[in-house]
Amino acid sequence: MNIEKTTLLYFSPTSTTRIILEEIARGMGKEALAVIDITKPEMRTQPAPEFGNDLVLMGAPVYGGRLPKDAAEYFKTVRASGSLAVLVVLYGNREFEDALLELKDIAVADGFSPLAAGAFIGEHSFSNNEFLIAANRPDEDDLEKAFSFGKQIARLLDHVQTLTDFSCVDVPGNFPYKDGMSMGPFSFIEITDDCDNCGICVTACPENAIDETRTYSTLEDLCIYCCACIKACPQQARILKDGPIKDKAKWLFETCARRKEPQIFLAEN
């Protein structure tokens, strides 16, 4: 099928979704791509794109077995006509539950024909020095799997002349979806004296939830607990306080230690 443009469209506070999408695209032999990174809050206020004879690799992390609300809301505003989609979720070695189905349902409602989908594993946002959860993933093995998934998609595309040549990819998940996360607002980040006021956490935050005028403290009403600021801080000056997120990290460390592997799904042709 003749595709005019391939676009990466993603929300990825701690970059694991972005890394996997880029590797899938490399495997497809698509290195010169358009990129729409909706992690930055200012990107989500731009009008959503309209796709035509395009292929879009769309990805987001799993939050509480669902898509992050901001990502889902933005994805719902995208319009597509005669466009193919590859759908990807990244999860922190617990479960991805209904997130991939939710992404597929949104993509179909937008007008996409989903050709392939994958659930990959990324270091859990709550992973920290004390409680490592899927630390350093995606690792080399995950990247190889993403690359090979890209090659499989490219081979499938060679056999697709029109959108009627394949049936939409099947993905696991249940509808009605499980309830999304209901947390907080609560304070879970402590800022230590090691902070040197560099401002990197402000740039890393997808929600404008860090107040640089108040010693880089977190605006709890806006925070989505993504931990991007903690991971981006070069001084390791942002640390998890004792409380629900740290307790969850301990629980994940104790109960989700067994390594999970990426799962991929391809449309039948």
Ligand X SMILES: Cc1cc2nc3c(=O)[nH]c(=O)nc-3n(C[C@H](O)[C@H](O)[C@H](O)COP(=O)(O)O)c2cc1C
Residues β-bridged to residue 10: 37, 59
Least Å distance, CB 205 to ligand X, is 12
| Whole-number Cα distances in Å, 180 to 2, 97, 98 | 38, 11, 10
Residue 117 interacting with ligand SF4 (CB under 6 A): no
Helix (H) or strand (E) holding 35: strand 34-37
Task: Quote the DSSP letter at residue 193.
Answer: T
Question: Using CB under 6 A, which of 204, 240, 252, 266 touches ligand SF4?
Answer: 204
In the complex, what is the shortest distance from the CB of residue 63 to ligand SF4, in angstroms, rounded to a whole number?
11
Helices (H), 200-263: 200-204, 228-232, 244-255
Residue 197 touches ligand SF4, criterion: CB under 6 A = yes
Q: Binding to ligand X (CB under 6 A): which residues in 210-229?
A: 225-227
Q: Which is nearer to ligand SF4, 145 or 231 (CB)?
A: 231
**Close Cβ partners of 202 (under 8 Å, ≥ 6 residues apart):** 210, 212, 216, 229
Whole-number minimum distance, CB 203 to ligand SF4, in Å?
9
Q: Quote the tokens at residue 44.
A: 């989500």
Phi/psi at 147 (nearest 5 deg)?
Answer: -65, -45
- Burial classification of residue 63, based on how many CB atoms lie within 10 Å of its CB (0-12 exposed, 13-18 middle, 19 or more buried): buried
Site string for ligand X, 114-153 (x = CB under 6 A): --------xxxx----------------------------
**Residue indicated by tokens 């991929």:** 264
Q: Which tokens go with 96? A: 């991805």
- What the block records as the tokens of 25 is 């695209």
45 lines the binding site for ligand SF4 (CB under 6 A): no
> Please, which of residues 4-33 interact with ligand SF4 by CB under 6 A?
13
Residues 83-112 that bind ligand X (CB under 6 A): 90-95
φ, ψ of residue 156 to 5 degrees: the values are -60, -40
206 lies in the binding site for ligand X (CB under 6 A): no
Strands (E) across 68-196 are located at 79-80, 83-91, 112-121, 189-191
Interface stretch with ligand X, choices 8-16, 171-179, 186-194, 209-217 (CB under 6 A): 8-16
Q: Report the nearest approach of ligand SF4 to the CB of residue 265 (Å).
A: 30
In terms of CB distance, is 122 or 156 closer to ligand X?
122
- List the single partner that 195 binds among ligand SF4, ligand X, none, CB under 5 to 8 Å by kind: ligand SF4
Instruction: Pick from 7, 8, 9, 14 the residue near ligand X by CB under 6 A.
Output: 14
**Three-class SS state of 216:** coil
Site residues for ligand X, 27-66, by CB under 6 A, read 61-65
Decide if residue 173 touches ligand X (CB under 6 A).
Answer: no
Please give the residue ranges that form the binding site for ligand SF4 (CB under 6 A): 13, 191, 195-201, 204-207, 209-210, 216, 218, 223-229, 233, 235, 237-238
